[in-house]
């Protein structure tokens, strides 16, 4: 199990103690009054990411939860509102060491196929799943998807048992014009 904290980086509640101890941590209007990050978000007030001290205090708070409690990470809610050019150093990405992969060519072809074949697109953008009844029961999941003339038939063995010797009967009317 992992522990991920929801971290709201761009605003606080009006009753946050910083409003009294560090009012300079917040954005203000011409009259010096706190303002919300978005006009209709009247229940919260915007933090000022131009304030270097506020960014340091925020980074320290983030590090505290990792150091003291060993949390696994953060889900940063509306962090983009803080501005990418003012992103906390804490949120910098880890460097990924890209190494050759034995299946790179195969995976590249699969990814390109997914991009070209609309039946494979995600969610409402792809084709609907139409399940086939199989004689192998729960061991095999078979389905097809179609979208704008693109088609895919999938037959997946979901168990550690071999299904090669078992009969899989899919009738032509189950798969429309597709051919097995």
pLDDT tens profile 12-41:
999 999 999 999 999 999 999 999 988 888
Query: Cα(107)–Cα(101) distance, rounded to whole angstroms?
Result: 10
pLDDT tens, 54-82? 989 988 998 999 999 999 888 877 666 66
Question: Global pTM?
Answer: 0.47
With beta carbons less than 8 A apart as the criterion, state whether 119 and 127 touch.
Answer: yes
Q: Hey, how many other C-beta atoms are within 10 angstroms of the C-beta on 49?
A: 20
Q: How far is 56 from 147, CA to CA, in rounded Å?
A: 51
Q: What whole-number distance in Å separates Cα of residue 20 and Cα of residue 16? A: 8
Do residues 114 and 120 make contact, with C-beta atoms less than 8 angstroms apart?
yes
């Amino acid at each position: 199990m992992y522990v991920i904290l929801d971290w709201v980086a761009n605003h606080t509640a009006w009753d946050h103690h910083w409003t009294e101890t560090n009012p300079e941590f917040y954005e203000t209007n011409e009259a010096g009054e706190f303002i919300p990050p978005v006009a209709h978000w009247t229940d919260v007030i915007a933090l000022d990411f131009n304030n270097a001290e506020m960014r340091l205090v925020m980074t320290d708070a983030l590090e505290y939860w990792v150091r003291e409690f060993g949390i696994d990470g953060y889900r940063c809610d509306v962090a983009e509102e803080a501005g990418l050019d003012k992103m906390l150093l804490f949120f910098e990405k880890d460097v990924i060491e890209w190494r050759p992969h034995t299946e790179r060519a195969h995976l590249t072809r699969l990814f390109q196929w997914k991009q070209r074949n609309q039946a494979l697109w995600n969610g409402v953008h792809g084709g609907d799943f139409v399940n086939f009844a199989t004689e192998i029961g729960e061991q095999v999941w078979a389905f097809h998807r179609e979208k704008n003339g693109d088609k895919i038939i999938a037959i997946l063995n979901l168990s550690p048992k071999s299904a090669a010797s078992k009969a899989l009967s899919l009738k032509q009317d189950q798969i429309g014009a597709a051919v097995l």
